[in-house]
Structures are given as C-alpha cells and as structure tokens.
Amino acid sequence: MMRRATNRLGIKLGLGKADFKLVASGGFGDGCNSYTHSMAWFNQRLYVTTMRNNFALMRSRLSIGLHTWPVETPADPFDLDMRAEIWAYDPLTDIWERAFKAPMIIGSHGKPIARDISFRSIAVFQSATESKPSLYVGTWCPARGPGPLILRSEDGRDFQPTCEPGLVGLPVTTIRALVPFKGRMYTTPAGSRGGNTNVSGHAVVYESRDPARGVWEPVSDFGFGDLDNKSLHEICGFGDHLYVGTLNNNGFQLWRSTCEGRAPYRWEMIIQRGAWRGPLNQIALSMYPFKGALYLGTGIQGGGIDKQNNIGPGAAELIRVREDKSWDLIVGHSRDTPDGRKEALSGRGPGFDKVFNGYFWRMCEHDGWLYMGTFEWSSVLAYVKRSNYKGAFGRVLGHVGPRNVLEYQSGFDLYRSNDGENWVPVTTNGMGNPYNMGLRTLESTPHGMFIGTANPWGPKIMPLDGDEFEFNPRGGCEVFFAPSTP
C-alpha cells in the first residue's frame, strides 16, 4: 500500500493542489449531472452518486432574485432526464463504469417521473445477519413520488430497495444520512413536499440492526423535544457517543447518546443556539472526528442565505468538541458565551474570512491531515438583480465587476490542517474551475484521496453580458484524485 512522504519531524506531508489530477469532468460526460452527492470505497472501487439538473429544480421551487436564469432550463424540470446515477471507478485501470441509473415510475399525477432524483447518502455496512459488507444508498424522491428508499447492493451493480417508501411510510422526501455505529445503522429522514429539501415533518433518529430487511425503529423523541429543531441534519459517531446536529432557525443544537439500553435512548444536549452565534449558525452541516475531538462545520441553508426565513447572508464557522463536552471555536467570530470567552483559535473569521463560503460542507481525514471543503456562491453574483446589492457591498461589487469576481474569486475552497487549529489552503478557486461551487464529497482510500464537486452550471449557460445560451465545457460535476506516494 502506498503512503505519502514525511517531513523531518516524521509528519506526513499534506496534499497540495498540484497533487490532484482530474479523473472525471463534465458530469461524467453529461452536464446534467450536477452534484457528486455522496462517495464511498467498496470492493476496491470508488462509488460516486449524482444529483441532476440542480438549477432546474431551484428555478421551479425557489425565488432567489435573479434577473437572468444562469442555466438553460425548461419550466418543468421533469421535462429533463432527472434520473440520478451511480458511477464506479477503478484507480488501477483508470476506468469509470455507470453502475446504476434510477428507474422511471408513475407519479401521483399519473405521469412518468424519476423514482430517485439523487442518491444523497451512501455507506458500507455489514450486519450480524450478512456474510459480507454491502453498499447502502439513501435516495431522494421527487414530491410526486412515493417516498425515499434505502437501496442495498452486494456487488456494486445490482441495487435493490430494502424498505418501504419513506423508510417506514413517513411523509418525507429524502434520506440525508446513513451512519454505521456500534454494529447498527442510523439515519434521519429529511425533506418534505413543497420544495423543502432539508426541513422535515419528522425530525427523529432511526436505528436498524438489520437494514437489509428494512427493520427500523425510532430511538429519539421528535426534535429532541424542541419543535424549533426543524430537522436532524447530520449524524456522526465519535468515541462512545453518536452525535446528531440539528437545523434550527435560532441556531443549531448538538445532541449525543451512547445508544445503549432500551429505545428511545437518553440524549443530552452539548451545544445550543448555534454555539451562541444564533441564526447565522443555522445548521450543524458537517461533522468529523480527528485526533481526539469532533469537528463541526456550520452553514445556512440555501448556500448561506435563507431568504424564506430571512437568515443571512452569513459565512460558516468551525467548532471543535471534546468528549468532556467542552468546545472551542476554530474559525469564526470570537465572542463571549455562557461557556466562557471563545476566541477563534485559527485567527480566521467566518468562512476563512470569505463571506461567500456559506457552508463548511464536508470533511475527511487522510494521512494524518483533516481536509475541509466549502460551498462558495460568488459565481451567481452576475445574475442577481443589481437592486439587491446594498451599501458597501454593492459599491465594491460595482467597482470590481462580476466578471472579475467569477474569474478570480469564484470556486470552492479546500483547506487542510494537521492539528485542527492551523489551516492552509489547498485551493481557493474550485481547483481552477470557477463553476465548481462546492466540494460535496471527500473520500480517503488505500490508493489515495478523492474529492467530488457540486457544479450545476451545465450543460448550457447564459454567458456574462450574453443574450443566448451556450454550451459550457466546464459545467457538470468533477472528480479529482490525489494518488498516494511511496
């Protein structure tokens, strides 16, 4: 197995931008593949799931104040091929294979629709009844469909439903998280009809000892007893506890449980009110354990501006939580809290001092370094109604110009840290593609590290100052690979 070189102190060298090579572009040859929504290493191959035509879905559901829609879309997004895909990559042969494409079904309106518009979560898991690990995939179902499913595959090619639509018949649209912990699988159904991709009418943690048979039971109270917890957004195992972060318009909450004894389990709150930043830390968006602590990245739904709830714009923060329930502010606004003064230990403000970093979206450890990717929304500025630009921000943007913003500012950021406090950039321009708005997936494998992007700018876009849609060769999700070195 290959390993990266080390420095004089014996610390493995972190990855730089030059270490990554592009292994998939243009949405796997189809610019409608917008997001690499989840990623897992299984049976010696990398599995990547997609969501398609994100801008088309946004146009039909959201009012975000654009004077020109940036991507060519029909009035009804389901006039497009919305069927989500699963791709598999063998790094030894450098060959991609489309392993699965969602089927068509008849929707509640009596017309054909995609059964799955995304595969939002993926996990490798082996229960006590299984002879070997299987690949589990959580789906996102359109509002006119019967509800999301959990699919299972033993070979990475045949994916079969394991549960009834809606997990146990719930009125939800997506399965956002699938997390193995203590020999069981955990999930939190999310989303609701009417374009609510995150807010759920059923904010409950579910557990399964045998997900292959679709046996799930609730193991928490609704919203942990707080109706302001609109969804249980993220799950992560760390030490002896399962941690769950919420979406709450007053600021996220962080809860944990040992998941022992009889269900529903005993849960305790560790952090409230967005770590005392309030609504600007609306969501606990990402969590990852690293060197004896749990790192938590925040966000505001909608990419950093929640117009429906009048929250934002605001950039993300990074918080570190210890098993003794104490916590540190790593990136963000230094402030006084009931837990004492919290200084940003990195010396960096929200979003690493970049207002456009609305999410700290995903994290991953690789060779002793913690990597974190952002969602960065400046690429849409040229299409926003100029009347929305107020005060100093509007004056600066008018001086700089949207084209310069796109060419020199836009694209996700990827940062890395060896100690959790000192962070250095790997890229601050989407790996050289300004249309790579977000880094949605990261996966450490025996062969190296993979990252996958969110890039909904395809197949055709309206050029800046243009009047006709044109093919965008840089539109569609991308995958990069940094191979391990001897």
Instruction: Tell me which of 5 and 20 has the higher pLDDT.
Output: 20
Rounded distance between C-alpha atoms, residue 43 and residue 337, angstroms: 47
pTM score of the predicted model: 0.95
Rounded distance between C-alpha atoms, residue 181 and residue 178, angstroms: 10
Instruction: Tell me which of 131 and 486 has the higher pLDDT.
Output: 131
| pLDDT digits 0-9 by tens, 329-349 | 999 999 999 999 999 999 999
Percent of the chain with pLDDT over 70: 93
What one-letter code names the amino acid at 397? L
| pLDDT digits 0-9 by tens, 15-70 | 999 999 999 999 999 999 999 999 999 999 999 999 999 998 887 666 566 777 89
Are 151 and 160 within 8 A, CB to CB?
A: yes
Provide the residue ranges of all domains of the chain, joining segments of one domain with +.
17-483
Rounded to an integer, the average pLDDT of 135-142 is: 97
Predicted confidence at residue 62, as pLDDT, reads: 60
Predicted confidence at residue 191, as pLDDT, reads: 82
Rounded distance between C-alpha atoms, residue 169 and residue 147, angstroms: 8
Query: Which has the closest alpha carbon to 233: 223, 242, 246, 221?
Result: 246
Query: Which has the closest alpha carbon to 86: 150, 156, 143, 29?
Result: 156
Rounded distance between C-alpha atoms, residue 120 and residue 51, angstroms: 8
| pLDDT digits 0-9 by tens, 171-209 | 999 999 999 999 999 999 998 876 678 888 789 999 999
Q: Which CATH architecture describes the domain 17-483?
A: 7 Propeller (2.130)
Are 42 and 133 within 8 A, CB to CB?
A: yes
Predicted confidence at residue 192, as pLDDT, reads: 80
Environment class of 91 (CB within 10 Å of its CB; exposed 0-12, middle 13-18, buried 19+): middle
Dmax over CA atoms of the chain, in Å, equals: 66
Are 55 and 71 within 8 A, CB to CB?
A: yes
Residue with tokens 């997004």: 77
Q: Where are the alpha helices (DSSP H) in 334-458?
A: 350-353, 391-400, 402-408
Rounded distance between C-alpha atoms, residue 165 and residue 146, angstroms: 6
What one-letter code names the amino acid at 170? L
Peptide bond connecting 313 to the previous residue in cis, omega within 30 degrees of 0: yes
Whether the per-residue pLDDT at 256 is higher than 90: the answer is: yes
Strand spans (E) along 64-190: 85-90, 95-101, 104-106, 112-114, 118-125, 134-140, 150-153, 160-161, 174-181, 184-190
